[in-house]
Amino acid sequence: MTVGRLVNIAITNLGLIFSVRGRTFPDIRPWSGKRGTMSVPEAVYLWQQPYLAAVCETDNGLMMIRIYEALAAIEQRRLTPVEPDGDEDRALVAAEVGLKALIAERIGEVNG
């Protein structure tokens, strides 16, 4: 089973999915009730800017830097209270799943 498939399974229950360059990632916006792909994702929360930079990065030399910047922004946000199971909490979890999938994909490319 591929990482993309695992991510899809992990987040399908939330209904929060978008695709960039043929890869599926969690949609980090609050659920709007509309499915489909996004051409240009927009940040709703401040921590999403580095997340979007990581997901949309095409330069292999910068991708891991962007991923770790996004993880740091998420961890920084988690230092203050977030409403449990609220829109932002679900977006944070979905972003973490997406970033972990990107890391696994990068490791697979190096080893594979």
Residues 61-73 pLDDT 10s? 899 999 999 999 9
Token pair recorded at residue 36: 């489909």
Overall number of domains in the chain = 1
Show the domain range for 7: 3-111
Token pair recorded at residue 92: 């944070």
* pTM for this model (two decimals): 0.63
Residues 29-67 pLDDT 10s? 444 445 444 444 678 999 999 999 999 898 888 999 999
Residue 96 has pLDDT above 50, yes or no: yes
Instruction: Give residues with Cβ within 8 angstroms of 24, minimum separation 6.
Output: 4, 7, 8, 17, 18
- Tell me if 66 sits within 8 A of 51, measured CB to CB: no
